[in-house]
Amino acid sequence: MATGDPLDLLLKFVSTNSKIVDTQWDRRMSPKLLFNPYSESSEEKKLTAHYFLLVSSILEDRIVGFSENARSLLIHLHKTLGNRLFEIRKPHLFQEEIVKCGFYGELGPRKEAIPDILSSVNAFAKEKAERDIIQYSLKFGKPNYLVANIAQNIEAMNGLQKDKVWTYMRWMVRPRPDLQILNHFSPEDLQVPLTRETANVATSVGMLEAASTYLWRDENTLSNARERITRFAKHMFPKDPAKVDYPFFLLGRWLKQKSLNKATLKEALQFFDHLHEVTGQPHAYYHSLGRYKSGWEIKTARTLSRIGIPYGYESISFPLPGDVYTPDFILDKAIEGRRIILEPHYEMTPRQIRKYALFKRTYGHEFMLILLLKNDLISYYNKHNLLSDSVCDDVWPIEFVDLLAEKIRTGTYEHEAGNDGA
């Protein structure tokens, strides 16, 4: 693993991960956007600028829960409403469609505010920006002037929620993988949005005393914290401080349930640096129940979150001879120096079994692979000699994943050869 000063490792992490596409328009994720955010068409650029102002306006844990839910909700509304999405200014028309989305229960506790917020964005776009936010932005010489104007006109993006506008500005001003639609502004003039995730990183570095709610107690405290993070970012990237924003977001999620100090930060950065060396891929970490493909994956994710074990879901793909393997859950826990991978399954195909065996042969000295299967299937696979030690390190009944997670958390997990489960 790489060693060195945490700040050097952090600089390397940002540089390595600054090309990762934001979750709000990442084309690898489902559901897919209904338009191309990188289009050179002037009409599509206008649509993009309006669309992502809608997204950023609700980008708050208390409102949508995970940020991926903002993506999914706007795509749902775009599919059902078409381009009426950009015209509606009556909240009840939004509410009628929002309650129909299949993940409505996963939205935040203040989800009832969404219709009013989206309506207020459309009112601003029509009445102030005259349906062309790009043209409207030309009235402002610096990003902070436009930020102040948007905040003044959209209540949900004002005061203690002004960082939503700075997130929007990062999307609109920075070059790829951001969108650079408001290209008359300079990235040099952007501020780094203060979010829970960026605050986690800043606290770990020592810039902030704590990543707690006190940062959002008043606008002055909030502004001072944002300015401190931005000054720090400018030391690393003088011409592009907001370059740190999305890498900090990814890293801050990983640090969420950990002690926020330089030692923990260094450990996390060394881990991701090592993964990058092994796989040749940057770190990409999404934590959203909506991305999971099965009920067992949701059960596993909820168990790990409840118990407090940080993890990455489908965050890294490992190259294999003639194949590739993307683990479901890579845990921030190790046994005898090997990181733990949990792989829940209903049933396994022969190809998957061969892939696991190939992964263990290639990376088994670095990672411990634990398969999670239904209890009655474990005996079936064992009877047919499909779960030998060459395939995985252990097999555990998925019905008892909470017990396994607790053993891993407390350091009482013990693996006995033979893959007999719990």
Structure tokens at 338: 């090997």
pLDDT digits (tens, 9 = 90+) for 127-160: 999 999 999 999 999 999 999 999 999 999 999 9
State yes or no: pLDDT of 2 exceeds 50.
no
pLDDT digits (tens, 9 = 90+) for 169-191: 999 999 999 999 999 999 999 99
Report the domain count for the chain. Answer: 2
Are 189 and 119 in a shared domain?
A: yes
3-state secondary structure of 118: helix
Dihedral angle at the C-alpha atoms of 153, 67, 194, 151, nearest 10 degrees?
0
Q: 212 and 126 in one domain?
A: yes
| CB neighbour list of residue 174: distance below 8 Å, 6 or more residues apart | 180, 187, 190, 240, 242, 243
- 328 and 214 in a common domain: no
Q: Is residue 284 part of a domain?
A: no
Burial of residue 62 (number of CB atoms within 10 Å: 0-12, 13-18, 19+) = exposed
Residue 392 lies in a domain: yes
Task: Tell me, yes or no, whether 227 and 320 share the same domain.
Answer: no
| Residue 339 belongs to domain spanning | 292-410
Predicted structure pTM score? 0.84
CATH number reported for the structural domain that contains residue 297 in this entry: 3.40.91.80
What's the longest Cα–Cα distance across the chain? 73
Whether 78 is in a domain gets the answer yes
Query: In this predicted structure, what is the pLDDT of residue 285?
Result: 58
191 within a domain of the structure (yes/no):
yes
pLDDT tens track for 230-264? 999 999 999 999 999 999 998 998 887 788 999 99
Please indicate, yes or no, if residue 419 is contained in any of the structural domains: no
Within this chain, do residues 139 and 248 fall inside the same structural domain, yes or no?
yes
Helical (H) or strand (E) element with 325:
strand 323-325
